[in-house]
Structure 1
Amino acid sequence: MSIDAAEYRQRRDRLMKKIGHGTAIFGSAPLSVMHHDVEYPFRQESDFFYLTGFDEPEAVAVFAPHHEEHQFVLFVQPKDMEKETWTGYRIGVEEAKKQYGADEVYPINELNEKLPQYLKNADRIYYHLGRDDTFNQTVIRHWQSFIRQYPKRGKGPIAIEDSNPTLHPLRQIKSAREIELVRKAVKVAVEAHNRALEFAKPGVYEYQIQAEIEHTFGSYGMTPAYPSIVASGENSCILHYIENKRQVQKGDLLLIDAGSSYHYYNSDITRTFSVGASFSKEQQSIYELVLEAQLQAISQIKPGNDYKTIHDTAVCVLVGGLLDLGLLKGDFEQIIEEEKYKPFYMHRTGHWLGLDVHDAGVYQYGEEKSVILQPGHILTVEPGIYISPHIKPAEEQPEIPERWRGIGIRIEDDILVTEDGCEVLTAGVPKSVEEMQKI
């Protein structure tokens, strides 16, 4: 396992301390079908994996700290050689108990029979109503059964509480081992991006560049963390462009947003450069502005600062620059307050990174209170400006001259919050104007 058994046990202990007399239920990811009977590659549900390390479908984890004997219970697929011949080996009930530290393990087909004993003395059920509607209904039926019995018994779960606010703050702060896994994913993604910088030439197709990137991932036993974005020319203005089929032309901007996944821990890097030629005057002006916004935002990352400051800093730099370039006009503070910059910059400046690319955890509590950065947070910083050929300026803003249209630039790095500041994990990919001009 990528995380040792002791760390998984510590995670479960922290969760059970928080839920007290409740019972928490987490389901695995189901197998998914692409078309007919062809299955997607299996990817475990992150909360379930975080607590168990168990990497098979059709499984359920139950945490009942109030139970006298079984605080951690797994339900898994039993051994079945006929089915395993078709879909791969299963660890089975007995081996799961040996390897994963559960107090008890049952076959998954006994879930409805066995689950009530772990609910009957709980005061509430911690469960996130996710995309698996069938399992959602299973949990709700058990809860409703106890609700009906409550007038006679006077105990049992009377509420279902979303498990995310309880578990996700634990996931946000990364352990030393988690940081090491992210570093490994970052190292390979850095190599892949640098390979793409060398390979990208006029005349190649976006999908050929994607193949070079993902070949690098695969050569280290890693997979893409998300569909790779290789967006040339006007495609650079499409935030989640994944068609990757255009032929790259000399002087095109090429925006590459790609990251690798290692034992489910992810990297996420974006670079933008001009292919086979120096930046045009307009391209360089926008690139320098985005880079300055990113550097200023990164400078705000240290323990004790709030998350919101990162985005606010980037927005202030971008708006100031767009005003200087004549792409916005009016009062600086009013433009920010009324978000009149959004035709150019419509997303946030970053996100948490870890087991999920957009990792678990909130960014603020209500309208006013932002999350305070702590050592062990990992986040991305990715400001951008996108001047689509079809851009429609905000009300009372100037029309965009043709020479600016079709310029899309984003620069993204992965940042670890340290005890006294931060570390740019992805610094191995160049991003200065001088380095980009040499490509």
Structure 2
Amino acid sequence: MIKNTLLPVAEFLQRRNDFIAQMPANSLALISAGKEVTRSNDTEYPFCQSKHFYYLTGFNEPDAILVLIKGDESAKSILFSREKDPLQEIWHGRRVGQVQAIEMYKFDNCFSLDEVDEQLLPLFMGKAAVLICQQEQNQFQQQVLTWLAEIRKAARTGVKAPTTLIDCSGLLDEMRLHKSNAELDIMRQVNVISGAAHQRAMQQTQAGKFEYQIEAELLHEFATNGARHPAYNSIVAGGDNANILHYTDNDEVLNDGDLLLIDAGGELAGYAADITRTFPVNGKFNTEQSTLYQLVLDSQVLAINAIKPGQTLAELNRIVCEFLTQGLYDLGILKGNVNVLLAQRACKKYFIHGLGHWLGLDVHDVGDYHASPQREQLRPFVAGMVMTIEPGIYIPSSDKTVDEKWRGIGVRIEDNILVTATGFENITVNAPKTIADIEALMSQ
């Protein structure tokens, strides 16, 4: 199953060129890499690169700085990174260094981080009227402001600091929202890996095991097939725990007769899968479980089948809310005048989150939804966007307004969907989700 999952260097070079093409003349952009984060004392969490930085570079070392310069008729990309250091590399691992950064990643130049002040500040002075960077409240932003202050102090010598400061996040968000063929190939691969992990979880689940034991099965399948890290903290929620949307304790025993909700996806070459499946611990849905499960599944299929260019999440939400409200009313879970319930989207009492979100380098990926003041997501879909579709019904055991037979049931079903030129492609292809397929797999 493992394939070559590295994006070609030409992809990152093209992204930098596309970004530069949208920069104003006489501008300079600064994008910083991520930093290592201390976990405890002298140990760190696994390093996760800044996604904007990675998107433009493919470079996976901490503390680096990308500089993009656009003049009237020329453009240049410069990297500042950690220098080669044999002693540090013995202790902490190999570094790319400046020479190989140019050769491997196709930067026009590369300097060590120790040379930042010497090499970077002259680029500001009188050569860049516009400074573009990520305007976030972090250490690098403070460093940028310090550099600007130093330049302004030299104004009496004729030096001119940039007069305009632009946040680059919106531009990069927009670029990342539209996936290339190379990106889509990786996202299909990580979906296959993650789907196999959900299959493994179903087959290994049985009453008496702990939730974290099933989580371990997921992580094993991810890593065995090249997705060494999960894209996010896995949710393995048995029984009433499924009604805690971001449950990640994963430390309780699985009980016979309960459902198990798993929300988990691997990360491959930086790209996330985000799949949710809900299934019975003992391998067989009871009547109430199968009734609610089928209602959620039917609503998901309705939404997915409606996806095409020009469609919106707002319209998909309308379709799903109408369907779930009617279904919950028919089951007696919602009570009252059905027309009033439909107008009020009464299902939101039990369908308490959004229908979906963008997916890519981040599991909740960047990109404007064009939300209205009423929080309707009105952005029309175009080919190349990838999103999740994840309806759910959550009836906590504490809800005394419904018949006891429904209490403690939580169901969510989530697939990853690509918008194509003519409709959609469901890239979640091997995670069983019909009742028949789930029960057949778990009976093996």
TM-score normalised by the chain length of structure 1: 0.92
In 2: Cα distance, 1:147 partner to 1:426 partner: 54
Q: Does 1:13 align with 2:17?
A: yes
- TM-superposed CA distance for 1:55, in Å, is 0.6
In 1: Cα distance, 2:394 partner to 2:377 partner: 30
Structure 1 residues 337 and 125: CA distance shift in structure 2, 3 A: farther
Residue in structure 1 matched with residue 394 of structure 2 by the alignment = 386
Number of aligned pairs? 432
- TM-superposed CA distance for 1:156, in Å, is 4.2
Write the letter of the residue equivalent to 2:244: I
Write the letter of the residue equivalent to 1:16: I
Structure 1 residues 170 and 150: CA distance shift in structure 2, 3 A: farther
Residue in structure 2 matched with residue 293 of structure 1 by the alignment = 299
Residue in structure 1 matched with residue 309 of structure 2 by the alignment = 303
Residue in structure 1 matched with residue 254 of structure 2 by the alignment = 248
Q: How big is each residue's C-alpha offset from its partner over 1:345-401, in whole Å with a ceiling of 9 and x where there is no partner?
A: 221111111111111212115447722211111111111111112348xxxxxx223
Residue in structure 2 matched with residue 42 of structure 1 by the alignment = 47
TM-score normalised by the chain length of structure 2: 0.91
Whether the aligned pair in 1 keeps the contact of 2:80 and 2:113 (CA below 8 Å) is: yes
- TM-superposed CA distance for 1:339, in Å, is 5.8
Residue in structure 1 matched with residue 329 of structure 2 by the alignment = 323
Structure 1 residues 184 and 277: CA distance shift in structure 2, 3 A: closer
Q: How big is each residue's C-alpha offset from its partner over 1:128-169, in whole Å with a ceiling of 9 and x where there is no partner?
A: 2336x2211011223345566779969642232221111111
Structure 1 residues 247 and 370: CA distance shift in structure 2, 3 A: same
SS of 1:94's partner is helix
Whether the aligned pair in 1 keeps the contact of 2:313 and 2:355 (CA below 8 Å) is: no
Residue in structure 1 matched with residue 408 of structure 2 by the alignment = 406
What is the aligned counterpart of 1:274 among 280, 305, 313?
Answer: 280
Residue in structure 1 matched with residue 56 of structure 2 by the alignment = 51
What is the aligned counterpart of 2:6 among 2, 17, 23?
Answer: 2
Residue in structure 1 matched with residue 191 of structure 2 by the alignment = 186
Write the letter of the residue equivalent to 2:40: H
In 2: Cα distance, 1:178 partner to 1:240 partner: 27
Residue in structure 1 matched with residue 233 of structure 2 by the alignment = 227
Q: How big is each residue's C-alpha offset from its partner over 1:182-236, in whole Å with a ceiling of 9 and x where there is no partner?
A: 1111111111111111111222221111111111111112121111111111111
Whether the aligned pair in 1 keeps the contact of 2:289 and 2:409 (CA below 8 Å) is: yes
Whether the aligned pair in 1 keeps the contact of 2:322 and 2:345 (CA below 8 Å) is: no
In 2: Cα distance, 1:425 partner to 1:75 partner: 37
What is the aligned counterpart of 1:32 among 12, 37, 48?
Answer: 37
Whether the aligned pair in 2 keeps the contact of 1:147 and 1:158 (CA below 8 Å) is: no
SS of 2:291's partner is helix
Whether the aligned pair in 1 keeps the contact of 2:36 and 2:45 (CA below 8 Å) is: yes
What is the aligned counterpart of 2:110 among 86, 100, 105?
Answer: 105
Write the letter of the residue equivalent to 1:264: G
SS of 2:199's partner is helix
SS of 1:115's partner is helix
In 1: Cα distance, 2:336 partner to 2:28 partner: 56
- TM-superposed CA distance for 1:288, in Å, is 1.4
Identity rate, percent: 38
Residue in structure 2 matched with residue 353 of structure 1 by the alignment = 359
Structure 1 residues 261 and 370: CA distance shift in structure 2, 3 A: same
Structure 1 residues 337 and 162: CA distance shift in structure 2, 3 A: farther
> What is the 5 A alignment of 1:32-181?
32-66=37-71, 71-120=76-125, 121-130=127-136, 133-145=138-150, 156-181=161-186
Write the letter of the residue equivalent to 1:289: L
Write the letter of the residue equivalent to 1:104: N
Structure 1 residues 259 and 152: CA distance shift in structure 2, 3 A: same
Q: Does 1:202 align with 2:207?
A: yes
Residue in structure 2 matched with residue 396 of structure 1 by the alignment = none
In 2: Cα distance, 1:6 partner to 1:277 partner: 48
- TM-superposed CA distance for 1:338, in Å, is 5.3
Which moves more between the two structures, 94-103 or 110-119? 110-119
Write the letter of the residue equivalent to 2:193: V
**Superposition CA RMSD, Å:** 2.3
Q: Where in structure 1 are there 5+ consecutive unaligned residues? A: 393-398
Structure 1 residues 366 and 36: CA distance shift in structure 2, 3 A: same
Write the letter of the residue equivalent to 2:434: S
Q: Where in structure 2 are there 5+ consecutive unaligned residues? A: none
- TM-superposed CA distance for 1:37, in Å, is 0.8
SS of 1:71's partner is strand
